[in-house]
A and B are shown apart, each in its own frame.
Chain A
Amino acid sequence: MSALLEIHDLHVSFHTRDGDVHAVEGAELSVERGSTLGVVGESGSGKSVTALTVMGLTRFPNATISGEIMFDGTDLVKMPNNQMLSVRGKRIAMIFQDPLSSLHPLFKIGWQIVEAIQTHENVSRANARKRAIEALREVGIPSPEKRIDSYPHELSGGMRQRAMIAMALVLKPDVLIADEPTTALDVTVQAQILDLIRRLKDEYQTAIVMITHDLGVIAELADEVAVMYAGRVMERTSRQKLFTIPELPYTWGLMRSIPRLDAPRPGRLDSIAGLPPSLIHLPSGCPFHPRCPYVMEVCLRVEPKLEQSEPGHLVACHLDVEERQRIGRELISLRSA
């Protein structure tokens, strides 16, 4: 059975004065109904651009998009703009990082939710309003019949993100793309929002694409994980595998840079040396090689392909499989000791 949303060999580049920015280079992703795909990576790894491309929101005059985004049997890359309008918001919805700047500051949240409903369904205002109140109740906003007439600035950060989620889910989309939905929130509120997303996923069997730079969120929520770097998917596996035998040096770097409370405090936090590469002038061979502690001669010349190292685990790395698994296991046992 093919997945609900399947991205195959997606390339997105933007033509700029300084050169072509290759934001996404051959991304491979898929997500099933009722499951969560976590996409993790640093800023500039192409995760947000991939998400916006699924929504058809990167169709700028200077953008070049190729590849396939198969959604329920149709290719969204080839879908004309006017048809895309009925997919966007209705069948694939998206929520964003900062709910304060992502909600219109001059319209009441109820108005904004009603607008979303009436854009896609032919219902009366009163009816749409009733559904908006229901949606607000569903996401745990207290006294929604009052809150519906609040402006975004009158709500707390957590409540705003709940309202955003209500707006995205009120039309019961098949896919919800969440672009760092908890990054701008307090830690306690983060957990509540993640809980809410998980509960709604189970209830509606929505497929979730959770974009984050936070492995904690992945551990919390994801069924499948894709690690992106420089516009490429470099490791793809289940959450369970990722947190027992991670096989990619970049993933190891991400894991090492999570500070620990139980270990003696190191002189400085571990981090991945260097900076994410320029997407205009990519390094030769493996894009991670300038920052990779395990770099070999072949990494400078040949870009590794995403290949299966064992069933259900795809990795793009030149390191020997056994070696990778040994280092991965060691890292996990060290960190969980």
Chain B
Amino acid sequence: MENAPRALGPGGGPLRALDGAFRWLVNVVTSSLFRYVIRRILWGVVLLVIVSALTFVIFYLFPSADPARLRAGRNPNPAAIAAIRHSLNLDKPVYLQYYLYMKNLVLHFDLGFSYYNQQAVRTQIFQRLPVTAELAFGAFVLWMLIGIPIGIISAIRPRSILDRMTMSGSLVAISAPVYWLGLVALFLFANDIGIIHLFPGSGSYVPITQDPAGWFGSMILPWFVLAASFAAFYARMVRAQVRETMSEDFIRTARAKGLSERRVIFRHGLRAALTPVVTMAGLDLSGLLGGAILTETVFNIPGVGRYAYDAIVNADFPPIQGTVLFSAFFIISANIVVDVIYAFLDPRVRY
């Protein structure tokens, strides 16, 4: 440390700062966490390649319909179909198609064009991502705000009336499929078909920039429907976590120190019990960012999930591949982020 500035020569003020930054950089790069993250990112890329190849293989091994025939309209003649097939590169061998697709993706970040309406997949996905994000984040906030407090309260008061009610209620919410729940919600509360005209129904989505109030109203039912099963699942998970934690030896120690029960639960208990929930929440949120297919379809929300649904119905391969890749990208990234966060939350975890 003594001779470092001297080595940089006299008057090395800025140089010394640069030197410090350099040392910091060296420390970061040589840290085990950094190496771990790099390794995980490389594996993530490999995983994405595998996912893309699998999607390709699945699409061509189990064709739902012939894209060229779908494009050709009514009473197509073979020549027209062949022309379309040629223009979409569908006449080339599968491995060559895959190569061309990956080449465009890697060199130009080009996800191709829809067979169905020629729109660029990348543009479509980027346009729809914010909508899906609005849906996912809103639902995320809701289910965390509902699930975690319920889980904590029923863990602290096991077998109480509230515990019994919420835990049996959560079983119902977990078992109810989203598309059924969505339709029931619309049937009960939508302002067009609902029994009680309360909230805007299916297809009422407007961008937040156009009409914030209208946007908020249109998102209420989708948020609740999407959050319902998650909230129920989180309530049960948090309850189990808290109950298990509260029987740990270190909780007994905390009590033996003379801490108030409130502090024992909230400082000592929840700190340990909720740490795994953070991991779970990150993964679940990222899973939804790839598109909440059922909710977006039931409520006709123009997000990535709706896009994927339409693509599947139309055997429109490029959007399918594009949405699958985006979905995989979110999940893989979230996995890495969550693992890094966990290292900060739990000092026992080392890489």
Contacts from A to B (Cβ < 8 Å): 55, 57, 85-90, 93-94, 96, 98, 101-107, 115-116, 119-120, 151, 153, 164, 167
Which 9 A-B pairs have CB atoms at the shortest separation, nearest pair first? A89-B258, A101-B249, A88-B258, A89-B257, A104-B250, A102-B249, A94-B256, A151-B347, A116-B257
Chain A's nearest CB lies how many Å from the CB of B281? 18
Q: How far is B347's CA from A90's CA once the two chains are assembled, in angstroms?
A: 29
Q: Which residue of B lies closest to A98 (CB)?
A: B249
A104-B253 CB under 8 A given contacts A86-B258, A88-B258: yes
Residue of A whose beta carbon sits closest to that of B345: A106
Determine whether the beta carbon of A119 is less than 8 Å from that of B258: yes
Q: Per-residue CB proximity of B259-300 to A under 8 Å, as 1/0? A: 110000000100110010000000000000000000000000
**B2 on the A face (CB < 8 A):** no
B39 interface residue per 8 A CB criterion: no
B248 beta carbon closer than 8 Å to chain A: yes
Chain A residues with CB under 8 Å of B271's CB are 104, 106-107
CB B157 to nearest CB in A, in angstroms, measures: 10
Query: Least Cβ distance of A58 to chain B in Å?
Result: 11
Can you show 21 pairs from A to B with CB atoms below 8 A apart?
A55-B256, A57-B252, A57-B255, A57-B256, A85-B258, A85-B260, A87-B258, A88-B255, A88-B257, A89-B257, A89-B259, A96-B249, A104-B268, A104-B272, A105-B250, A105-B272, A105-B347, A116-B257, A120-B258, A153-B348, A164-B253
Interface of A, secondary structure class, is mixed
User: Is the pair B250, A103 in contact by a Cβ cutoff of 8 Å?
Assistant: yes
The closest CB in chain A to the CB of B259 belongs to A119
A103 B348 Cβ-Cβ under 8 A: no
Bound together, the chains give a CA A105 to CA B258 distance in angstroms of 19
Inter-subunit contact A96/B252 (CB<8 Å): yes
Residue numbers of B with Cβ under 8 A of A are 248-250, 252-260, 268, 271-272, 275, 345-348
CA distance A119 to B348 in the complex (A): 27
**A57-B252, A106-B272 as given contacts; A167 in contact with B257, CB under 8 Å:** yes
- Bound complex: CA of A85 vs CA of B250, how far in Å? 17
Which chain A positions have C-beta within 8 A of B254? 104
Shortest Cβ distance from residue B347 to the other chain A in the assembled complex, whole angstroms:
5
* Contact, CB under 8 Å: A105 / B253: no
Q: Which residues of B contact A101 (CB under 8 A)?
A: 248-250
By a CB distance below 8 angstroms, the chain B residues around A88 are 255-258
Give the Cβ gap from A87 to chain B, nearest Cβ, in Å: 7
- Tell whether A106 pairs with B257 under 8 Å between CB atoms, given A101-B248, A153-B347, A153-B348: no
Question: Contact: A102 with B250, CB < 8 Å?
Answer: yes
Taking a contact as CB atoms under 8 Å apart, the answer to whether A102 and B253 are in contact is yes
Q: Find chain B residues with CB under 8 A from A119 CB.
A: 257-259
By a CB distance below 8 angstroms, the chain A residues around B253 are 96, 102-104, 164
**Which chain A residues border B257 with CB–CB below 8 Å?**
88-89, 115-116, 119, 167
Least Cβ–Cβ distance between A151 and chain B, in angstroms:
5
Report the bound CA distance from A101 to B248 in whole Å.
7
Complex alpha-carbon distance, A256 and B105, angstroms: 79
The smallest beta-carbon distance between A150 and chain B, in angstroms, is 9
- Bound-complex Cα distance A104 to B254 (A): 8
Closest Cβ of chain B to A115, distance in Å, is 7
Per the bound structure, the CA–CA distance linking A182 and B223 in Å amounts to: 55
User: In the complex, A98→B249 CA distance in Å?
Assistant: 8
| B343 smallest CB distance to A (angstroms) | 12
State how many angstroms separate the Cβ of A148 from the closest Cβ of chain B.
Answer: 14
Bound-state CA distance A120–B257 (Å) is: 9
Chain B residues within an 8 Å CB radius of A55: 255-256
